[in-house]
Amino acid sequence: MKVIATSKLTKFFGKTRALNGVDLEVKQGEVFGYIGPNGAGKTTTIRILLGILQANEGQAQLLGQDAWQDAVGIHRQVAYVPGEVNLWPDLTGGEVIDLFVKLRGTNNSSRREEMIERFDLDPSKKCGTYSKGNRQKVALVAAFSSDADLYILDEPSAGLDPLMEKEFHECVGEVKQQGKTVFLSSHILSEVEKLCDKVSIIRQGEIIESGSLKDLRHLTRTEMLIETRKPVHGLEDFKGVHNVQQKDLEYSFQVDSEELGRVIQHLGQFEVIKLESAPPKLEDIFMRYYRGSGAEE
């Protein structure tokens, strides 16, 4: 079942085109990573999904209903964490969490205390005295203590310290185990790599790459470092091998993922004594596109 489906979403702000024909598809139980540099259109997309902005063209459906028309109904099943959490300075964190839970129309806050403890939040403090990270925690506690089907998270770990980030990752893992769907926008690639099943990359309002991480890794190269007893011949000429660098009998190079097997076979004859390989990184894919955008400008 499709939890999120958009087709050709286009949004203008005045004359600026913020989104240009964005197609997204998120299935139930998936953790979906939505990545792109700042200003690419991630938050705009999320605001359209939440019915806060109306798309100029195209359709957005959440849980089988129209994102704009049926916003209120949809949101009973959605938990949302904004990227920039602005709270009422006079209210305490605890009050805000309770208010948020109530605003969703459900009264299920059984996990509230547990979440407050896990995120190490002092709920008796006024929001005006909270740091950015603490305001983020308020939103995270409210989201994860509610019983939603879809979690929409807009760069949620910005401002969290590493311990809290880990806690957040565990929360995502738990809701995933329960078969919930997570839509995670981020520009922290290691996070997306760790948590997500599928990703879409957006740049300047357009989706430039979509697929499972496995699919995307075909587009990347594995980093290899080897040491052999015999000098290696013919590495440079090998199809799919790049940037060979040699220091005595140590070689470092990059291999296209689909050529990896044949290269390893070839290396076998030179008596390998050390082999290190770094997995292809999402960062590489991302940087390739990112550089691409830089070159255009």
Partner 1 sequence: MRRGLFNKAGVNARLIFRRDRWRLLFWILGIFLLTVVVAFAYTELVPTQHERMVMAETMRNPAVTAMFGPGFGLDDYNYGAIMGHQMLLFTALIVAIMFILMVARHTPGDEENGRIELIRSLPVGRLSNLSATILVCSGACLVLTLLIGLGLYATGIEGLDLEGSLYYGLVLGATGFFFTAATALMAQLAESSRGTMGFSFGLLGFSYLIRAIGDVGTEALSWLSPLGWVIRSEVYVNNYFWPIGLTLGGGLLLVGLAFYLHTLRDLEAGFIPTRSGRKTASPFLQGPLGLGLRLQRTTIIAWIVGLFVLGASYGSVLGDLETYLESMELIQVMLIDVEGFSLTEQFLPMLMSVIAIIATIPVLLLTLKIRGEEDKNRTEHFLARAVSRSRVMGSFLLLAIVVMIGVLLFGVFGLYSAGAAVMEEPISLNTMLKSLLVYAPAVLAMIGLGVLIIGFAPRRTGLAWLYLGYSFFVVYLGEMLQLPDWMARLSPFGHIPRYPLEEIVFSTLIIITLIAGGLMALGFWGYNRRDIYG
Kindly tell me which of 87 and 189 has the beta carbon lying closer to partner 1. Answer: 87
Taking CB under 8 A as the binding criterion, the range among 19-27, 88-96, 156-164, 282-290 that sits at the site for partner 1 is 88-96
- Spatial distance between the Cα atoms of 160 and 133, rounded to a whole number of angstroms: 5
Per-residue binding string, partner 1, 102-131, x by CB under 8 A, is xxxx----------------xxxxx-xx--
Number of Cβ within a 10 Å radius of residue 101 = 21
Least spacing, CB of residue 188 vs partner 1, in Å: 22
Kindly tell me which of 39 and 128 has the beta carbon lying closer to partner 1. Answer: 128
CB burial of 115-148 (b: ≥16 within 10 Å; e: otherwise) equals bbebbebebeeebeebeebbbbbbbbbbbbbbbb
According to the binding rule CB under 8 A, does residue 64 interact with partner 1? no
According to the binding rule CB under 8 A, does residue 75 interact with partner 1? yes
Least spacing, CB of residue 134 vs partner 1, in Å: 14
DSSP characters for the chain? -EEEEEEEEEEEETTEEEEEEEEEEEETT-EEEEE--TTSSHHHHHHHHTTSS--SEEEEEETTEETTTTHHHHHTTEEEE-SS----TTSBHHHHHHHHHHHTT----TTHHHHHHHTT--TTSBGGG--HHHHHHHHHHHHHTS--SEEEEESTTTT--HHHHHHHHHHHHHHHHTT-EEEEEES-HHHHHHH-SEEEEEETTEEEEEEEHHHHHTTSEEEEEEEESS---STTTSTTEEEEEEETTEEEEEEEGGGHHHHHHHHHTT-EEEEEEEPP-HHHHHHHHHHHHHHH-
Taking CB under 8 A as the binding criterion, the range among 15-23, 101-109, 206-214, 268-276 that sits at the site for partner 1 is 101-109
Kindly tell me which of 125 and 262 has the beta carbon lying closer to partner 1. Answer: 125
Contacts of partner 1 in 185-224 (CB under 8 A): none
Provide the token pair at 108: 């299920």
Least spacing, CB of residue 182 vs partner 1, in Å: 15
Looking at 39, 73, 231, 261, which residue binds partner 1 (CB under 8 A)?
73
Kindly tell me which of 53 and 207 has the beta carbon lying closer to partner 1. Answer: 53
Q: Under a CB-based contact definition with an 8 Å cutoff, are residues 153 and 182 in contact?
A: yes
Looking at 57, 59, 64, 76, which residue binds partner 1 (CB under 8 A)?
76
According to the binding rule CB under 8 A, does residue 57 interact with partner 1? no
Q: How far is CA 251 from the centre of its chain?
A: 34
Kindly tell me which of 97 and 241 has the beta carbon lying closer to partner 1. Answer: 97
Per-residue binding string, partner 1, 26-55, x by CB under 8 A, is ---------------------x--xxxxx-
Least spacing, CB of residue 293 vs partner 1, in Å: 26
How many residues belong to the site for partner 1 (CB under 8 A)?
41
Per-residue binding string, partner 1, 155-174, x by CB under 8 A, is --------------------
Kindly tell me which of 44 and 200 has the beta carbon lying closer to partner 1. Answer: 44
Can you give the binding site for partner 1, defined by CB under 8 A?
A: 47, 50-54, 71-73, 75-76, 78, 80, 82, 84, 86-92, 94-100, 102-105, 122-126, 128-129, 152
